[in-house]
Amino acid sequence: MVKEQLSHGIRRADLILAYTFLRVIIGVNYFNHGVTRIGNIPAFMDSMVSAMEGAWMPEVLVRINAALVPPVELIIGVLLILGLFTRGALIACLVLMLILMYGVTIVQNWGAASSQLIYDIVLVALLAGIGFNQVSLDRQIFNKRQ
């Protein structure tokens, strides 16, 4: 049996395995963010309002965004863990991260911005490598390569 190799001795099977682990790991991260916050959204909203104090954004806008973050994180996490609607989940997550990045940078929280940038890089890598999303419900249900 000949194993398919890409350039420089990299095997496609190893890239598929690495992609799967990275997708599930980031999915677990978002899932747990959502699960830990969804039970107490009012407190999460209050903490976001405090973090955004001094920004130009009206409090009601901060509260609306904060109320949406936990369920979105939870749903995205589940979809990424399962590999279901992976491309859409990654795009939705990048939109979420864009909104969060905007928020932390207008209050000049550069530490949070740096941390979020790491998430962004991982999400972009997963989206760019969507062709390796072979161990997924997308593949099983839709029987297609992304």
For the chain, percent of residues with pLDDT exceeding 70: 93
Alpha-carbon span 45 to 1, nearest angstrom: 56
* Domain extents in the chain: 7-142
Q: Could you give the C-alpha distances from 127 to 35, 111, 123, in angstroms and in order?
A: 24, 25, 6
Over residues 93-98, mean pLDDT: 98
- Contact partners, residue 68, CB within 8 Å, separation at least 6: none
The whole-chain average pLDDT of the chain stands at 93
pLDDT reading at 2 higher than 70: no
- What letter represents residue 17's amino acid? L
- Specify the higher pLDDT residue, 76 or 2: 76
Amino acid 5: pLDDT: 65
Over residues 52-72, mean pLDDT: 94
pLDDT-based confidence at 1, cuts 50/70/90?
Answer: very low
